[in-house]
Structure 1
Amino acid sequence: MVHALERLVVRHTLRVPVPAGAAGDGAVAARRFDAALMSVGFKLSAGLLAELSGRAPETVVAIAGRTLDTVREIVGDHVRHNVYFVDFPANVPDTFEFWMSCVAEALADDKSRAATAEQLSSGVLDLLTLPAYGNYRHTYAEMLAAHDELLAAAGDRVTVLHLGRTPADETTALYTALAGSVTPLGEDDLKDLAVLAEHCTDGPQPETIPVRESRAVVNRVRLAAGADLLLDTVTDVLRLACALFGGDVSLREPTRFRALSRPVRRALLAGLDAVVAAAPDKLADVAAHRERWKRLGERLHPHEYPRWPHAAEVFAVARGEAQARSFDSLVEERLGRDDVTGAAELLTAAPGRLFRALDRLLRAADTPAARDAVLAAAERVAPRVAGRVVLSLREHVQNRTDADGGQRVFVNRTGGAWVRADTRPPLPEDVRERLTALLDDETRRRLPAPGHLVVDPAVLDVALPLSGRATAAGLGVLPRGSVSPVEGDLLRFFTYWKQTRRSTDYDLSALVLDADHATVTWLSYTELTTLEGAHSGDITDAADGASEFIDLRLGAVRGTFVVPQVNIYSGEDFEEVEESFFGYMLREAEQRGRPFEPRTVRMKSDLRGPGRVALPLAFQRDDDGRWKARWLHLYLRGEPSANRVEENRVSVSVLLRGLLARTPLTVRHLTALMADTATTTRLWDGGTATPWDAGAAPEGPVTYIGLERPAGLPAGSRVLTPENLRDLIPS
């Protein structure tokens, strides 16, 4: 268990916990550890190397083994990446010639000759029936032997691992950071929170757990430990019940409730009773999940516990035996009477809902006086609205400028995306200006004074992580909407998957679009080679894991956009397989090396989404010829089977056009607001020893915001990097 917690700390923070232990001469072991890390693109910080050098060698070796396993998994090097064409990207054949060679081999084989000949006579040939198609024709060792060693390049990725505190301290800090996050966590982070919560039940707790899903995960652990539950709505109890059965605490998907022990039933009913007794109006929330409450009531048997009559009211409302009008119905009633100001006034009792409904209210307000009343209501409740809701509305407002009915992009919590025509009338300019000023003033008021503020310019175009669901677990992953530069001669995509029960075929593809989002070409198993690059070959079964690659020469790309995608042709979806991930590497033309070289990996993200077509990110060439990545983290529904880049290229083009028309709220926005109260503000890209001129360094700590933690910051400095950028969102 301790080692599992250590892995979580390294993965989330890039810090290595060092336990208390005997001193010794571990310098040789520490240097070997550092060298091993560098082979996969990681390195020990000076402080961590010095600390390990003073520890007993056996301690260093143990830490090294565990940490190496962790970082190899982070970068995707924990599996073997083979390719169909043994010396890819060299000697990849023309697609038609390759298919004909497979046919010729099938006709030469006594076992497959008759069936292949019959297919040819019918005019329709199934490639999957050809023995030479879709399966590795060589071993992993034979593939390695076909490739030269990777030559080192100045642009190779180096991710620094820093010295952590003791394992107990690091575990507690990570738990409180995740549990106390003001933004919703992704699915993987919620699972990690559950593990950490079990270990930290008796230790320090965050002051609040503001996100309901996180609260449900923690409550499940607290219930098992006999601790007090954190409940203030009836829906908190429903989420806890879902957590007990491993269900969806976000309540998007149904959970199958099973029998519960008497102690658990008593705890849930007592919690419900206390919530309703304290605030009877919270019964109105029951209607939103009426059917779930009915199913849960069948397991809780509230009629057996007359001492908790308020809990019984919840299930009476769910069954329709008692009335409790929902808050939303009261709002809709007023809007139905065209009483916009009355609806806004009612919503002041639920500030978050008011902010989420502001666009609709302002559109419904048909007079300047009505709009003033709506805005006045928003101004009164602004201090009581969650920071991420304030920023989400700010992002929404800055994108409400299209007066000619353009495209509206919808992205749900799981990354599913679709496009519709935007038929909303524009908001008046004076309304937008007043609302923007309100939101910026409220955000500025909540941001802590940064003192000396130091910002890496590379982080300015990173989108604010307003939800952990807008990213995926992995290495170098940025929130949806972020933009990051791409520098190198060769861009290589890769995907890996391993099926769980049934044969599964994923297809890596890359769509090239011009400036008007029209198709130029694509690379896939149906187009193995183009002027732009080459595909490594189609693998159609992944019982032992499978990899596919696409090599692109950026200078040869004829379009403006490159959109990599992973299509499910057949078998298990992204949430069924044992493992699946996507990433990209950057190399110089002369580096060579194996198809997969961890030192050149710039990004690797897990593929866990609801659709059959994954769109992790897109690449765009600017007018000056420079490339940049735009982070998508999206999934298209696709077809049940046989998804191909040729079939979804129009959908991808429309979606990309709509997304590029939106401007996300980025770190640049918050740093500009923070600069208003900063003692000093410096932009620093690491090109000089320090961000300050000689003799101008501050005596105290600084607030640093960047993509990586730099060395040499003053003691006590606050450091915000992608690993903890959610801490930048004010509460």
Structure 2
Amino acid sequence: MVHSPEALVVRHTRRLPSPTGPAGEGAVAARQFDAALMSVGFKLSAGLLERLSGLSEGTVVDTAVRTLAAVREMVGDHVRHNVYFIDFPANVPDTFDFWMRCIAEALADDATRDRTLEQLSSGVVNLLTLPTYGNYRHTYAEMLAAHEELIAAAGDRMTVLHLGGALDDEVTSLYLALAGSATPLNADDLRDLGVLAGLCVHGPQPEAIPVRENRAVVNRARLEAGSDLLLDTVTDVLRLACALSDGDVTLQEPTCFRGLSRRVRRALMTGLDSVVAASEAKLADVHAHGEAFKRLGERLHPHEYPRLPYAAEVFAVARGEKRAPSFDARVEELLGMDDVTGAVQLLKSAPGKLFRSLDRLLRSAVGQEERDAVVAAAEEVAPLVSGRVVLSVREHLHNRTEGTRGRRVFVNRVGRAHVTDDTRAPVLPAERKRLIAALDAETRRRLPAVERLLVDPDVLDVALPLSGKATASGLGVLPRGSVSPVDGELLRFFVYWKQREHVTDYDLSAQLLDATYATVSWLSYTNLRNFEGEHSGDITDAPDGASEFINLRLGAVRSTFIVPQVNIYSGEGFEEAEESFFGFMLREAEQQGRPFEPRTVRMKSEMRGPGRVALPLAFRRGRDGRWHARWLHLYLKGMPSHNRVEGNRVTVATVLRAIMEREQLTIRHLTGLMADMGATVLPWDCDTVPEMPVTYIGLERPEGLHPDSRIITPENLRDLIPD
């Protein structure tokens, strides 16, 4: 992946930093650059085209080469997407006929005849032993020659690249936005933040870094530059140590700590000492990660620092030599004694924990007096709770309606999903309504005053990005639970992977379910074609990269749901492979073209999660016949090998039902609160661009808005979450 500062700005903001170079006659080269961009679904804004036209031809060409590399990678066009069946989606054979042909070809091959006959005599043939199965039978060039040019259509994606400011200003702005984000970042964004933090360590810094993982990445850059560290808990030091070892700063996975230099060891020990010296109560945090602190102590050599006694206490607690009762243990003790009021009073000193415990406290409360105490405490501390937690609890309460006893879906920070029966007692209506009203009032208090708000209607059902950890990075990717319209006649999924060391076989499949979540049919390597569409063929080894496709005619689909999935049949996991990504395209029936056409790509997302089955999103047909995508970003554990769509049917249906029946907090909720505050909310109309500054929320950044306008698109949706 391209990591240059300029590429980072393009990828995160869809702005190209203002190119610099000698003046000249660059108009022709700029138009050629624009045409090249349009071939992959991008375009220069009028302002950027004008800027490039005034520069020398060489400057424009150099800018074009760098930018094209970045945007081609964004859309997945930086690799060669071949297909097993050269004419796909035409002339895809019947699955059984295809397998019989592979067996016949194996029998005609002297090298494989005896082995194949032996398998036939046993009644079972392993497809992977057949020489013509699973590997490309033609070159990429031969495949391209077999397809006509793509016919342009009005519905083709066209992402506009806008003119940015100076490179240093754009890099600083992006750094401040990522470092100061109120919501956690995904792994790719954290990596990008690390690059930017190194570049900006001596420049402007955000007023606050509320997300601890972000702080760890920034602290690594500050430590390497010799700047002061941002530490206020012992866990901040542990996360920094993980960052220095290129480990997991989220602390979800154990980190193998590297040997550290004396300077770094002293800095970490000094940090621990100062935190505990300021408040010995911080030692209670050690218990949550006791084993990690033990392993870190082996690298830090605390005995070498007799003048840092408070730091030594951290490791004494981790080893069990010093007692430091944790806050959570004290809360549990009170609840164990049925002292809900006492637990509430204690939790008021930790407002975030109080909010996360509201459901349990209300269920544990006995009588109206205790329930009133819980709600009153929440109302009292609400101004001290982060906006992300306020909105998360609001969403939770919205889904805790009286009498609902269905299935609970748990999704951890890395997208692993688990569904179980919901056996909880309900939250009573009076307390639920009172809390929701208080949370909405608190959110309104924090939202900025907006006079005129322009909203693209297609963005209203996009879920608020309350966490970015399990949301994949890529192009056109929306937060989990978001709903977006799907307009087109042909829906085409694609997956690409490249193995790092071991033979790796990923299988792209699509499960079709009816309104009751029962399986209607599927497309996969075991069912290459049916009435609805075609599969491009099974590739079982990817040393140079491999692609698989599924083509669906939406008008012919007989189901209510379409659930694409990527199954790991064998080999490296999504996080182990050198590269792996999924996406989908939309086309009109007459467009023809290659199996992969970048300007028809609507979404391309990286697959880097745990588990052996990936569920990026699902498609649902509404009562009006229109299709909508619902974003999942989920990974199922699956089996160690031989995962197939047939074996996942029940699990996928169970997870899908739980996700579909849960209502997300969306942009519509925030725009409604802004309207309550007096904002004039208008649907975006590109034919009528206001002359005054506005706040705009949409899927794409429009041209022509006043330069002082505030613009919110999927790339910076996190900015909508109030502090």
Q: TM-score, normalised by structure 2?
A: 0.99
CA displacement 1:111-133 (0-9 Å, x = unmatched): 00000000000011100000010
Pick from 681, 684, 699: which aligns with 1:707? Answer: 699
Match of 2:386 in 1: 386
For residues 487-522 of structure 1, give each alpha carbon's deviation from its aligned partner in whole angstroms, at most 9, with x where no partner exists: 111000000000000100000000000000001000
Counting matched residue pairs gives 723
Alignment partners' CA distance in 1, 2:239 and 2:404: 42
Match of 1:469, SS state, is: coil
How far the C-alpha of 1:680 sits from its partner, in A, is 2.4
For 2:332, the aligned partner's letter is E
> In structure 2, what is the equivalent of residue 126 of structure 1?
126
Correspondence 1:538-557 to 2 at 5 A:
538-557=538-557
Pair 1:728 & 2:720 matched: yes
In 2, distance between residues paired with 1:599 and 1:702?
30
| CA apart distance, 1:315 | 1.0
**What residue is the counterpart of 2:419 in the other structure?**
419
Say whether residues 1:376 and 2:383 are aligned partners: no
After superposition, the Cα gap between the structure-2 partners of 1:56 and 1:506, relative to the gap in structure 1 and judged at 3 Å, is same
Structure 1 residue runs without a partner (length 5+): 691-696
Match of 1:217 in 2: 217
| Conserved 8 A contact 1:44-1:160 | yes
Q: CA RMSD in A?
A: 1.1
Matched-pair contact (CA < 8 Å) for 1:575–1:610: yes
**Structure 1 match to 2:478:** 478
Q: Secondary structure at the match of 1:276?
A: helix
**5+ unaligned residues in a row in structure 2: which ranges?**
none
Tell me, in whole angstroms, the C-alpha distance in 1 between the residues paired with 2:164 and 2:343: 52
The within-5 A match list for 1:259-408 is: 259-401=259-401, 403-408=403-408
What SS class does the counterpart of residue 614 from structure 2 fall into? strand
Between 596-605 and 1-10, the greater mean CA deviation after superposition: 1-10
1:241 matched residue in structure 2: 241
Local SS of the residue matching 1:724: helix
What aligned pairs does 1:670-689 form with structure 2 within 5 A after superposition? 670-686=670-686, 688-689=687-688
- Give the partner amino acid of 2:56: A
C-alpha distance in 2, partners of 1:484/1:280?
Answer: 50
Contact 1:708-1:721 at 8 Å conserved across structures:
yes
The alignment partner of 2:91 has SS state of coil
| 1:683 CA drift (Å) | 1.4
**Letter aligned with residue 8 of structure 2:** L
- Aligned-partner SS, 1:723: helix
| CA distance 1:518–1:433, change in 2 (3 Å) | same
Partners in 1 of 2:676 and 2:655 — Cα distance? 37
Q: Which residue of 2 aligns with 1:694?
A: none
- Partner in structure 2 of residue 693 of structure 1: none
Residue 462 of structure 1: SS of its match in structure 2? Answer: coil
CA–CA distance in structure 2, aligned partners of residues 409 and 259 of structure 1: 41
Following TM superposition, by how much is the alpha carbon of 1:213 offset from its aligned partner in structure 2, in angstroms? 0.3
- The one-letter code sitting in structure 2 at the alignment partner of 1:104 is A
Tell me the distance in 1 between the aligned counterparts of 2:288 and 2:586: 48
Q: Aligned residue for 2:710? A: 718
Secondary structure in 2 aligned to 1:389?
A: helix
CA contact (8 A) 1:453 1:678 kept: no
Q: Does 1:537 align with 2:537?
A: yes
Residue matched to 1:665: 665
What is the DSSP-based 3-state SS (H/G/I as helix, E as strand, rest coil) of the residue aligned with 1:577? coil
Provide closer, same or farther for how the CA distance between residues 3 and 308 of structure 1 changes in structure 2, counting only shifts above 3 A.
closer
The whole-number CA distance in structure 2 between the counterparts of 1:443 and 1:724 is 19
Cα shift at 1:563: 0.2
Give the letter for the 1:167 counterpart. L
Alignment check: 8 A CA contact 2:402 2:427 kept: no
> How much has 1:570 moved relative to structure 2?
0.3
The answer to whether structure 1 residue 94 and structure 2 residue 94 are counterparts is yes
Deviation (angstroms), 1:674: 1.4
Higher mean displacement: 298-307 or 702-711 = 298-307
Amino acid aligned to 1:417 = A
In the alignment, is residue 194 of structure 1 matched against residue 186 of structure 2? no
One-letter amino acid of the structure 2 residue matched with residue 689 of structure 1: T
Once residues 86 and 20 of structure 1 are traced to their aligned partners in structure 2, the CA distance between those partners, rounded to angstroms, is 45
With over 3 angstroms needed to count, the CA separation of the structure-2 counterparts of 1:163 and 1:214, relative to structure 1, is same
Question: What's the CA shift for 1:280?
Answer: 1.1
Which of 273-282 and 110-119 deviates more?
273-282
CA displacement 1:290-342 (0-9 Å, x = unmatched)? 11111111111112212111111111111111111000000001001100011
Q: Tell me, yes or no, if the aligned pair for 2:220 and 2:243 is still in contact at 8 Å.
A: yes
- 1:452–1:698 CA contact under 8 A, matched in 2: no
Q: Please state how far the C-alpha of 1:715 moved relative to its aligned partner.
A: 2.1
Displacement of 1:649 after TM fit?
Answer: 0.7
- CA deviation string 1:579-630 (max 9, x = no partner): 0000000000000000000010000000011010000000000011110000
Once the two structures are overlaid, the 10-residue window that deviates more, 379-388 or 402-411, is: 402-411
Tell me by how many angstroms 1:681 deviates.
Answer: 2.1
Shift of 1:65: 0.5
1:650-681 CA distances to partner (integer Å, 9 max, x unpaired)? 10001101111100000001111112234422
* Distance in 2 between residues matched to 1:358 and 1:419, nearest whole Å: 22
What's the secondary structure of 1:436's corresponding residue? Answer: helix
Q: Distance in 2 between matches of 1:402 and 1:78?
A: 51
Paired position in structure 1 for 2:520: 520
Partners of 1:20 and 1:644 in 2: CA distance: 52
> What residue in structure 2 maps to residue 49 of structure 1?
49
CA distance in 2 between partners of 1:209 and 1:244 (Å): 19
What is aligned with 1:440? 440
The corresponding residue for 1:105 is: 105
Q: Look up the match of 2:619.
A: 619
Q: Compared with structure 1, are the counterparts of its residues 23 and 296 closer, same or farther at alpha carbon in structure 2 (3 Å cutoff)? A: same
Tell me, what secondary structure is at the counterpart of 1:91? coil
Amino acid at match of 2:408: R
**Cα deviations by residue, 1:140-173 (Å, 9 ceiling, x for unpaired):** 0110111001000111110000001111111111
In structure 1, C-alpha distance between the alignment counterparts of 2:663 and 2:2, rounded to whole Å: 43
8 Å Cα contact 1:399-1:662 kept in structure 2: yes
- Aligned residue identity for 1:210: P
Q: TM-score, normalised by structure 1?
A: 0.98
Query: Structure 1 residue runs of 4+, over 6 Å off?
Result: none
